[in-house]
């Protein structure tokens, strides 16, 4: 087929990953971003092996690995620091590859460099998208494309306009993310999750260079931040949590939502990443699924006779894999809500086995 005119809405990780994959196939892509400039974030990312594999297939794996820290072991403790489970990540992922930890800024910078020369228009907010592939922007301008890709996150303007919703579903969890300096704090290595009562959790992932990514979450019936200093919710957690919390005053707060609905395509329109299937961070698969989306969509656009056929094939090929991740996230989140003694016993007895089962189908290529 003739090379389609493609617009990618959103210059985040999923959008730039798709741009990179399409560039490798000789497709010219326009990108619009509603923010006024490149967005930066102090948060970190744990990249499971299937995400790292996708980065290598995008041709940027080596550069990412230079900036990242290899994660060798995963540990689960209770909030007092008592061990519940510990295992090598190689036992979970086998020959799929390494797991890495990296700051979101560093990953985004690698993607920006890898897509240099792409036409990116900032401060360009999408007002509506119609079934013929015409985009109307907030400034009143209009333009038509063969394919419009909504890579604009969980509150996607493309999803809202072209698909009519439904609105994302609140998962009953609140979280805080921040980076801390760990050079003078003992007891931090690799990936360590600490589980408290009431669905409270505190995760640390070592990033290297004296930095650690901290992620704290708690169950809540409401999506708004609680009154007072959020750090008091974790005051009973053992070291090194108290020392890390001293650096968390400016943590990024978010209520966690899940995209509802399994239809990601319309004529001339497709959703990828969080715009299509945002999910709980329980398995750290949100970024992995977005990177896989980019690879699969670019591959199919290069193989199929027309855009419609490519989109149909994309939906069919991605649906089961994404649904598996969503289902496993639900199961893991439910396990965390078990009565504390039962939850702790479960992880002590079958923690590694559960992690292996959660990830087994993701060993195959997407």
Domains of the chain: residue spans and CATH: 6-71+95-168+259-339 (3.50.50.60)
Residue 337 has pLDDT above 90, yes or no: no
Task: Classify the C-alpha dihedral 169-173-176-182 as positive or negative.
Answer: negative
**Can you tell me the distance from the alpha carbon of 292 to that of 61, in angstroms, rounded to the nearest whole number?**
14
Among candidate residues 58, 25, 31, 111, the one with its CA nearest the CA of residue 301:
25
pLDDT band at 42 (very low <50, low <70, confident <90, very high): low
The pLDDT value recorded for residue 261 is 79
Query: Which comes out higher in pLDDT, residue 9 or 186?
Result: 9
Residue 86 has pLDDT above 60, yes or no: yes
DSSP 3-state assignment of 168? coil
First to last CA, the chain: 24
Local structure of residue 53 (DSSP, 8 states): H
Mean pLDDT of the chain: 93
DSSP 3-state assignment of 228? coil
Residue 39 has pLDDT above 80, yes or no: no
pLDDT band at 235 (very low <50, low <70, confident <90, very high): very high
The pLDDT value recorded for residue 145 is 95
**Can you tell me the distance from the alpha carbon of 254 to that of 177, in angstroms, rounded to the nearest whole number?**
8
Cβ atoms within 10 Å of 330's Cβ, excluding its own: 15
Mean pLDDT, residues 8-15 taken together: 96
Mean pLDDT, residues 68-88 taken together: 96
**Can you tell me the distance from the alpha carbon of 231 to that of 195, in angstroms, rounded to the nearest whole number?**
15
User: pTM (2 decimals)?
Assistant: 0.96
CA angle (154, 155, 158) in 5-degree steps: 100
Task: Classify the C-alpha dihedral 136-139-143-149 as positive or negative.
Answer: negative
For 134, the token pair is 């015409």
Q: Where are the alpha helices (DSSP H) in the chain?
A: 13-23, 49-57, 61-67, 90-93, 104-114, 157-158, 241-245, 274-277, 286-303, 307-336, 340-359
The pLDDT value recorded for residue 36 is 87
- Pairing relationship of beta strands 201-208 and 211-219 according to DSSP bridges: antiparallel
């Amino acid at each position: 087929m003739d090379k389609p005119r493609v617009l990618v809405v959103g210059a985040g990780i999923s959008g730039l990953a798709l741009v990179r994959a399409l560039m490798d196939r000789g497709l010219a892509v326009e990108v619009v971003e509603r923010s006024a400039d490149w967005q930066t974030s102090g948060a970190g990312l744990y990249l499971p092996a299937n995400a790292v594999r996708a980065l290598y297939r995008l041709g940027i794996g080596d550069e990412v690995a230079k900036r990242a820290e290899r994660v060798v072991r995963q540990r689960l403790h209770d909030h007092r620091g008592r061990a519940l489970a510990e295992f090598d990540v190689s036992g979970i992922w086998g020959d799929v590859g390494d797991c890495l930890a990296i700051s979101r800024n560093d990953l985004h910078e690698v993607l920006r460099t890898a897509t240099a020369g792409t036409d990116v228009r900032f401060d360009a907010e999408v007002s509506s998208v119609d079934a013929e592939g015409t985009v109307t922007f907030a400034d009143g301008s209009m333009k038509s494309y063969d394919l419009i890709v909504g890579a604009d996150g969980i509150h996607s303007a493309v999803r809202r306009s072209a698909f009519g919703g439904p609105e994302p579903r609140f998962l009953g969890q609140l979280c805080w993310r921040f980076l801390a300096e760990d050079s003078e704090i003992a007891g931090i290595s690799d990936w360590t999750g600490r589980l408290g009562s009431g669905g409270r959790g505190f995760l640390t992932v070592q990033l290297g260079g004296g930095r650690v990514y901290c992620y704290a979450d708690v169950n809540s019936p409401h999506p708004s931040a609680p009154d007072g200093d959020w750090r008091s919710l974790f005051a009973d957690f053992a070291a090194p949590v108290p020392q890390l919390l001293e650096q968390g005053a400016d943590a990024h707060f978010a209520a966690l939502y899940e995209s509802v609905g399994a239809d990601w395509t319309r004529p001339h329109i497709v959703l990828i990443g969080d715009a299509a299937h945002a999910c709980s961070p329980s398995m750290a698969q949100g970024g992995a699924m977005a990177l896989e989306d980019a690879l699969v969509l670019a591959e199919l656009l290069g193989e199929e006779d027309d855009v419609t056929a490519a989109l149909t094939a994309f939906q069919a090929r991605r649906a089961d894999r994404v649904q598996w991740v969503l289902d496993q996230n639900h199961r893991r989140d439910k396990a965390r809500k078990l009565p504390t003694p039962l939850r702790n016993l479960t992880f002590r007895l079958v923690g590694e086995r559960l992690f292996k089962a959660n990830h087994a189908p993701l060993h195959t290529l997407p």
